Each structure stands twice: as structure tokens, then as C-alpha cells.
């Protein structure tokens, strides 16, 4: 490990949460590696421990910048007292300047494309303002999306205006084209690390298909019948894609960090084995709502949770594909519920 840093006059670990270890000067220099691309969690922790010890014990005025996705081992390392007391954290998901930076990058890039590309050089109103705003919203403050858009649009062998329309879904994607391949590789890389995909997939289905309800961890527990804390275990390796509030938080909700994640998951050509089929996803969510209502009915009294689950079921069921599992759940629910439903009549 010592050899890793022996010839460096400064270290940047590039890999968005940033953690800057406090010091008196920034020393530019060689790159030690990408923390989140190192798959061995013990090595990730060891690197951060060595760096923090170097800062604490060294008389040199060092300032280190660590950039990484919020992977579990990295999050846990930075929460240790000996490291957390000498660090300052900046989560790019909450950084209000990130959206402005993405907008600046997109406008500057499109201006260069217009100046250099003969297909759009003569167009007065290109790029359309509506397209710029669309890409800013879809980026969700993440440069990976914005960079993918620019890389695809700027191809000198294609019409930028047509390619921009393809990205917006306004024109058909050519059969041999994969406009979001770079983004898809990132999503697939993260999802490949998931141990319990069935559980994670149903949580993701809820987040991408439910457009009317804000999701708390408690509400997710009720819908799927989880034990307290199960959702935190399931999403341990998903913090780069899903915002999961702290367990004692009452005001925050689960949500996807990337708006483009929904498009990835519902497109089988892009997501492959991680594909979430919306009609089947709605069927699974409807079945889970039925089971949840049966559990709540068994408690013998109305509750806000019961009304909320019934509202969810009313939203999900009409969009569902009638799978055998959903049919069986309906069959087991209708007769028992019919005898007590008047007690729970919605206002």
C-alpha cells in the first residue's frame, strides 16, 4: 500500500459524493484510483484508512479530494469517527449549483455543435429551448446523462437535429442504434452488484410506476409486508440510484436520483434481465396491495394506511396484466372482504 503513494506529489481519487479531507493547501498530482470501481470492499476501506492516517500524522499541509458513488463500504468508512471528524461532505444530489452547471455544459456544447456541424449551422432556432430544458430535467443534476446526450448529438456522421429528436422520443430509434449505451452500462454495472434482485425490483417498480404517492420507507414496508429495516438491507448497494432517507427521518421520501432510470428499466433492449414490464409490474403491485389490505383488514379497524393502500390498488389494478398470481390473490380476497368492506367505506 505504501508503494501506491510513494511517488505521488498529490492524490485525487476520482470515481457523486465528494469528501474533502481538511488541510491548508490543495496538492495536485497523480491519480491513485477509482474508489467505487475497486470491487474489494476491504481494499476500499484500507485505502481510505491509509489516506486519513496520512493526513492526521503527516506534518505536510495536504488536502485530498475523494470523488465516488456512495457505495456501502465508502459510506461506512466516511462515517467512522476518525475519518468523519477530518472530512467535509458534499452530496451532488443535493447541490443546488449542479443543475446550473449541467445547463452551462449543455448550452456550451450545443453552441459548439451548431458552429461546427454543417447540418445545423444554418438553423436559427437550433437547439430548441424545449429540448434544452428537457435534457436538464432528465439529467437530474448528473453529468453522466448530459455527457451521453452531447456525445450522441455531436456525431459528425449524423444529423444533430434528428439525433436530438431521437433522444427525446420524437423520432424512431434506428434498429442498430443505442443512444444511451454509456448510461446503460453504468446502470447495469450497479444493478449487477445487487444480491436480492426480486426484492429490489419490486421497490423500483413501485418508484417508477406510482406517479401519485410520495414514498416513505414505512409505506413501502406496509405495501410489501417487510419487517422494519428490510428496505435498508435491500437497498444497501443502491444509494447511487435511489435516495433512501435515514431511518429516523420523517420528512424525506424515497425517490430515484436519475429521472432517466425509468426509461432504462421499462425498455427491454436497454435493461435486459433487469427489465421491468409495466403491465406485469402493476400486476405485482396490485397483488401486494391485496395482501397488505388483507393484513390490515385482519387488524379489525380502519386506518390511514388501509385507505392509502386501497387508493394505490385502485390506481394499479386497471393497468395490470391479469397474471395467475394476481388472479389467485383476487380470488382469496373478494369474498372475505365483501363481508366487511362497508365498515371501511371511503368517505
% of the chain exceeding 70 in pLDDT:
80
The verdict on 228 and 297 lying in the same domain is yes
Look at residue 185 and tell me if it is in a domain: no
Q: How many structural domains comprise the chain?
A: 3
Residues 212 and 254 in one domain: yes
Please tell me whether residues 256 and 284 are part of one structural domain.
yes
| Arithmetic mean of pLDDT, 257-261 | 88
Q: For residue range 148-173, what is the model confidence (pLDDT) as tens digits?
A: 999 999 988 899 999 999 999 888 88
- What pLDDT, on a 0 to 100 scale, did the predictor assign at position 148? 92
The residue among 63, 91, 119 that closes a domain is: 91
**Average pLDDT value over all residues in the chain:** 80
Asked if 123 and 78 sit in the same domain, the reply is no
44-58, 108-122, 333-347: which range is least confident on average?
A: 333-347
The pLDDT tens digits of the residues spanning 61-115 come to 777 777 777 777 777 777 777 777 778 777 666 656 788 899 999 999 999 999 9
Residue 341 reports pLDDT greater than 60? no
- Read off the pTM: 0.73
Contact by Cβ (8 Å): 259, 183: no
Quick one: 40 and 150 in the same domain? no
1 pLDDT more than 70: no
Q: How confident is the model at residue 320 (pLDDT cuts 50, 70, 90)?
A: very high
DSSP H helices, 117-259, are 129-139, 143-153, 160-167, 181-191, 197-209, 217-224, 230-234
34 and 142 in a single domain? The answer is no
User: In this predicted structure, what is the pLDDT of residue 21?
Assistant: 39
pLDDT: is 130 or 18 the higher one? Answer: 130
Both 218 and 325 in a single domain?
A: yes
Distance CA 103, CA 209 (A): 28
- Claim to verify: residue 74 and residue 118 sit in the same structural domain: no
> What is residue 234's predicted lDDT score, i.e. its pLDDT?
92
107-142 residues labelled b (16+ CB within 10 A) or e (exposed): eebbeebbeebebbeeeeebbeeebeebbbebbbbb
| pLDDT value for 63 | 75
Q: Where are the beta strands (DSSP E) in the chain?
A: 11-13, 17-21, 30-33, 64-68, 87-91, 242-243, 255-256
pLDDT of residue 127: 92
Give the C-alpha separation, 278 to 321, whole Å.
Answer: 9
Is the distance from CB of 37 to CB of 45 less than 8 angstroms? no
Higher pLDDT, residue 62 or 315: 315
What residues make up the domain containing 34? 2-91
- The residues, any chain, with a CB within 8 Å of residue 293's CB and separated by 6 or more, are 306, 309, 310, 313, 333, 337
Gap between the Cα atoms of 47 and 53, Å rounded: 10
**What percent of the chain lies above the pLDDT cut of 90?**
37
Can you read off the three cell numbers belonging to residue 318?
Answer: 386497471
* Last-in-domain residue among 120, 146, 179: 179
Asked if residue 250 and residue 142 are part of one domain, the reply reads no
Whether residue 192 lies inside any domain: the answer is no
Same domain for 58 and 160, yes or no, is no
Q: Are 225 and 219 in contact (CB under 8 A)?
A: no
Please tell me whether residues 175 and 236 are part of one structural domain: no
Asked if residue 188 belongs to a domain, the reply is no
Q: How confident is the model at residue 301 (pLDDT cuts 50, 70, 90)?
A: low
Q: How far is CA 172 from CA 11, 64, 175, 266, in A?
A: 45, 46, 9, 17
Residue 275 and residue 160 share a domain: no
Amino acid at each position: 500500500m505504501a508503494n501506491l503513494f510513494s511517488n505521488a506529489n498529490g492524490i485525487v481519487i476520482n470515481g457523486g459524493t465528494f469528501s474533502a479531507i481538511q488541510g491548508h493547501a490543495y496538492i495536485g498530482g497523480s491519480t491513485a484510483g477509482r474508489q467505487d470501481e475497486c470491487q474489494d470492499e476491504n481494499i476500499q476501506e484500507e485505502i481510505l484508512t491509509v489516506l486519513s492516517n496520512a493526513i492526521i500524522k503527516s506534518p505536510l499541509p495536504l488536502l485530498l479530494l475523494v470523488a465516488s458513488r456512495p457505495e456501502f463500504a465508502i459510506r461506512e468508512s466516511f462515517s467512522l469517527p476518525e475519518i468523519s471528524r477530518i472530512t467535509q461532505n458534499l452530496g451532488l444530489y443535493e447541490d443546488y449549483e449542479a443543475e446550473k452547471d449541467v445547463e452551462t455544459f449543455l448550452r456550451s456544447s450545443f453552441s459548439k455543435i451548431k458552429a461546427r456541424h454543417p447540418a445545423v449551422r444554418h438553423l436559427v432556432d437550433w437547439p430548441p429551448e424545449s429540448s434544452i430544458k428537457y435534457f436538464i430535467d432528465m439529467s437530474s443534476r448528473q453529468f453522466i446523462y448530459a455527457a451521453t446526450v452531447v456525445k450522441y448529438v455531436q456525431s459528425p456522421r449524423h444529423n444533430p437535429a434528428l439525433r436530438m429528436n431521437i433522444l427525446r422520443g420524437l423520432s424512431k430509434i434506428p434498429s442498430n442504434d443505442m443512444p444511451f449505451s454509456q448510461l446503460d452500462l453504468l446502470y447495469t454495472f450497479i444493478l449487477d452488484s445487487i444480491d436480492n434482485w426480486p426484492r429490489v425490483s419490486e421497490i423500483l417498480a413501485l418508484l417508477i410506476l406510482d406517479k401519485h404517492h410520495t414514498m416513505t420507507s414505512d409505506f413501502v414496508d406496509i405495501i410489501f409486508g417487510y419487517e422494519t429495516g428490510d428496505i435498508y438491507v435491500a437497498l444497501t448497494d443502491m444509494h447511487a440510484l435511489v435516495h433512501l432517507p435515514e431511518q429516523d427521518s420523517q420528512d424525506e421520501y424515497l425517490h430515484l436520483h436519475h429521472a432517466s432510470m425509468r426509461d432504462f428499466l421499462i425498455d427491454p433492449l436497454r435493461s435486459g434481465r433487469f427489465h421491468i414490464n409495466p403491465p406485469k409490474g402493476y400486476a405485482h403491485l396490485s397483488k401486494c396491495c391485496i395482501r397488505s389490505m388483507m393484513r390490515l383488514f385482519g387488524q379489525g379497524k380502519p386506518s390511514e394506511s388501509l385507505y392509502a393502500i386501497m387508493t394505490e390498488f385502485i390506481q394499479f389494478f386497471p393497468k395490470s396484466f391479469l397474471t395467475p398470481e394476481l388472479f389467485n390473490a383476487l380470488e382469496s380476497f373478494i369474498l372475505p372482504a365483501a363481508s366487511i368492506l362497508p365498515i371501511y367505506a371511503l368517505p
